[in-house]
A = this chain, B = another copy of it.
Amino acid sequence: MKSIIIASTSTLHGGNYLEYLLPVLETHFKNRKNVIFIPYARPGGISHDEYTKKAAEAFDSININLRGLHEFENPEEAIQNAEGFFTGGGNTFLLVTQLYKHKIMQALAEKVKSGTPYLGTSAGSNICGLSMQTTNDMPIIYPPSFQTLGLISFNLNPHYLDPDTNSQHMGETRETRIKEFHAFNSIPVLGLREGSWLEVKGEKITLKGNLKARLFKQNETPVELESESDLSNLK
């Protein structure tokens, strides 16, 4: 039975890393002692070791041992043997490129679909959808494909931002960008605001957190979804 947390962001303004999610994660990873951290989205600034250390400190507070996937000689084998996963944020183009390069996109998808608990934040959430095509990230590297894990039957837009009605900037709003996506793709897109997450339990998908989310479907007016909305049939 699938067990997945798909969070808009790792960190809320003024909060510590993963702080707002820790009570949820304690239940989510219950009885799991060792979880694998996938640091590949990080495009520098800090190393994979440092990024893993930061995530491990948060997990340590709920008595879980986190180890970076980059520490394993055979990443595919590490995935097959894993008790749980956390994929952190960064750049989605880089994350997807690395998952293909290490030939683990499919292995990770299968392992999570078979019931191993997964947590994604930001870029780590983007890859839970059918494709990474509704990311906000800059194309700093050319991935072999935009296809991602397909753990759910729609796409995500993490860090969803409402249009700033006072702005004089002429660049596209997030809503306009998602509308552009729907000019060529029929996949629904869920705009997840910072502080929202999806809980996937088997085939049941529920919107969690205190905020509404914004759902975009091709050729339809976007709608606001209340917290606790059931998204199980969205596709």
Residues of A within 8 A of B (CB): 9, 11-14, 43-45, 90-91, 93-94, 132-142, 145-146, 159, 161, 168-172, 177-181, 183-185, 194
- What are the residues of chain B within 8 A of A142 when measuring CB–CB? 145-146
Q: Which residue of B lies closest to A183 (CB)?
A: B44
A161 partner, pick from B14, B171, B194, beta carbons under 8 A: B171
- What are the residues of chain B within 8 A of A140 when measuring CB–CB? 133, 177, 180-181, 183-185
CB distance from A214 to the nearest CB of B (A): 15
Q: Given the known inter-chain contacts A139-B139, A170-B159, A178-B138, please indicate yes or no for A43 contacting B184, CB distance below 8 A.
A: yes
CB distance from A72 to the nearest CB of B (A): 23
A13 partner, pick from B9, B45, B170, beta carbons under 8 A: B170
Q: Which residue of B lies closest to A136 (CB)?
A: B171
Interface of A is mostly: loop
- What are the residues of chain B within 8 A of A11 when measuring CB–CB? 170
* Docked CA distance A93–B45 (Å): 27
CB distance from A133 to the nearest CB of B (A): 5
**Sample (21) of A-B pairs whose CB atoms are under 8 Å apart:** A9-B170, A43-B183, A90-B180, A91-B180, A94-B180, A94-B184, A132-B139, A133-B140, A135-B138, A135-B139, A136-B171, A137-B172, A137-B180, A138-B178, A139-B146, A140-B177, A140-B184, A142-B145, A159-B170, A159-B171, A169-B194
* Docked CA distance A178–B171 (Å): 17
* Docked CA distance A145–B142 (Å): 8
Q: Sort A-B residue pairs by CB-CB distance and give the 10 closest, nearest first.
A: A44-B183, A13-B168, A159-B171, A43-B180, A138-B177, A43-B183, A140-B181, A9-B170, A133-B139, A142-B146
* Docked CA distance A177–B94 (Å): 12
Q: Which residue of B lies closest to A97 (CB)?
A: B184
- What are the residues of chain B within 8 A of A194 when measuring CB–CB? 169-171
Other than A13-B168, A140-B185, give 18 A-B pairs with Cβ distance below 8 A: A9-B170, A12-B170, A44-B183, A45-B183, A90-B180, A91-B180, A93-B139, A132-B139, A133-B140, A137-B177, A138-B178, A138-B181, A140-B180, A142-B145, A142-B146, A159-B169, A159-B170, A161-B171
